[in-house]
Amino acid sequence: MLSLFASIFLFLSCVVARPVEEATAASSYQIRGVSSPIFHLYLQALPSSASTPVLGPAASGEYFTIGSTIQSTNTSNYLNIGTASTSYKPLSFSKTSNTTAWALEGDTIITATASTYGRQLNFVACQLTGGYYSIYLQTGSDVPSGTCSNFQTLHLPCLC
């Protein structure tokens, strides 16, 4: 636990210590699906549950600062990966980050090769009511019950 806090502290110190030009270059981006049924649906919190990340309409899509953490600039919440015995891992938004596995590969959201999850880029999207889809990190072939679609990938609209 202490070493986890130490790494988080070191990570934060590095972020704070970054040169000004890099800090200003760190933009925030929307994150979206590119294949049916989540084609051009955007990452955001479910209106009825701030801790539930979903893909939904572009107009309510949040903006995120993406590094080894993914943080919403709209809500300040971090995108965390939860634990589960299944190969699909639930995602949640929280005021505190416990996930430093994220990375960008081009415009694609992945988990880093060196992370607990290895390099993963697939997500499972499951239909909710109201045109929203819940998402899980996919690390194998399990799929939740319901109307779900696996091998979905998440991308930045552009690298501008």
CA terminus-to-terminus distance, the chain: 38
Q: Which stretch binds ligand NAG (CB under 6 A): 80-88, 118-126, 140-148, 149-157?
A: 80-88
Q: Which is nearer to ligand NAG, 17 or 25 (CB)?
A: 25
Give the ranges where the chain is alpha helix by DSSP (H). 2-17, 20-25
What pairs with residue 46 in β-bridges? 49
Residue 153's contacts (CB-CB under 8 Å, 6 or more residues apart) are 33, 34, 35, 108, 109, 121, 122, 123
Q: Which is nearer to ligand NAG, 116 or 147 (CB)?
A: 116
The site that binds ligand NAG (CB under 6 A) totals a number of residues, namely 11
Q: Which is nearer to ligand NAG, 80 or 138 (CB)?
A: 80
The answer to whether 98 contacts ligand NAG (rule: CB under 6 A) is yes
> Contact with ligand NAG (CB under 6 A): which of 47, 57, 82, 118?
82
The answer to whether 11 contacts ligand NAG (rule: CB under 6 A) is no
From residue 34 to residue 73, the character string flagging contacts with ligand NAG as x (rule: CB under 6 A) and all else as - is --------------------------x-xx---------x
Spatial separation of the C-alpha atoms in residues 53 and 66, rounded to whole Å? 15
Find out whether 31 and 42 touch, Cβ atoms under 8 Å. Answer: yes
Q: Tell the smallest beta-carbon distance from residue 148 to ligand NAG (Å).
A: 20
Residue 136's contacts (CB-CB under 8 Å, 6 or more residues apart) are 88, 89, 90, 91, 123, 124, 126, 144
Q: Which is nearer to ligand NAG, 23 or 151 (CB)?
A: 23
Give the H or E element holding residue 65. Answer: strand 64-66
Contacts with ligand NAG, residue ranges (CB under 6 A)? 60, 62-63, 73-74, 80, 82-83, 92, 94, 98
